[in-house]
Structure 1
Amino acid sequence: MATTSFPTCIAEKLDDSNYLHWRQFVEPVIKSPWEVQDQMASIYSFLVCSLSRVLGCTHSYEVWKRIHEYFNLQTKSRAHQFRTATRAVKLESKSVEDYLLKIKNYVDELAGVGFPVRHDEHVDAISEGLPSDYASIVSVIREQQEASFHC
């Protein structure tokens, strides 16, 4: 935070006769440091109230670091759950449309938490959940994947 100095044009001390003149120059200088401090205190209070895991932190950056670490772990855990769920989807008694939509929803959830799924991984997830009746289709898809991979 930059320090703010008082205007040098105020040479006289504050009294009843010069309050308005004095205020015109001094109030903006005084107001800016207290607004910065108030904002910092508000940020700190907001962050501390947002999450009980930040007890013991004394600075806003420490609170933010703990919040970031906590939610980063939570996000990675959710991503792992979505990846596992994506691979667990099976066609079984679902319509093909419902099956593909279920996998797409997991793929979208992964992208939403910052872990986008590559196209080939998406296709693999679809292929893996299909029963053996679809083996010839899966074989064609895999051949096309390999061919596009080598190009």
Structure 2
Amino acid sequence: MAWLLASISELVGHVVRCTSSRQVRLTLEQLATENSRARLLQLRFQPQPVKKGSMSIDDYVLKMRSIVDNLNATGQVISNDDLVLCILGGLGSEYDPVVVNLTSRK
């Protein structure tokens, strides 16, 4: 138990009242599960508000690809079609002709 407490110094507040290593482990598992759910929700909503803004098109696409890769790593698979739609949705009005052209194709 002492080794566990020493290795998780930033989480001590959550486990300080635990009386066994089993309680520490269960508490940490619960925290990890809660953090995983919160991280998943954060990742899930991240692509929606991302706008290209002043980023280069390359940087913007790489950022979106990175977000989707992180989501895929959590088991939340985002298709390439959905990625393309998210990317197109975040482009500025200067890309409207490209967006219309791409979205009107069969």
Same fold, judged at TM 0.5 (above): yes
The count of aligned residue pairs is 97
Q: Deviations over 1:37-81 (max 9, x none)?
A: xxxxxxx22223313111222222221111111122122222222
Structure 2 residue matching 1:89: 3-state secondary structure: coil
Give the secondary structure class of the aligned counterpart of 1:58: coil
3-state SS of 1:74 partner: helix
Higher relative contact order (CA 8 A, sep 6+): 2
Is 1:63 aligned to 2:15, yes or no?
A: no
Q: Rate the CA distance shift 1:124–1:82 in 2: closer, same or farther, 3 A.
A: same
TM-score, normalised via structure 1 length: 0.53
* Aligned-pair Cα RMSD in Å: 2.3
Contact 1:91-1:131 at 8 Å conserved across structures: yes
Q: Which residues of structure 1 form unaligned runs of 5+?
A: 1-43, 144-151
**Residue in 2 aligned with 1:83?**
44
- Residues 1:136 and 2:101 aligned together: yes
Q: Which amino acid aligns with 1:48?
A: L
Q: Residue type matched to 1:118 in 2? A: I
- The range that moved more, 114-123 or 99-108, is 114-123
Who is 1:94 aligned against?
A: 55
Contact 2:71 2:78 in 1 (8 A): no
Match status 1:117 vs 2:77: yes
Cross-structure match for 1:48: 5
Q: Which runs of 5+ in 2 are unaligned?
A: none
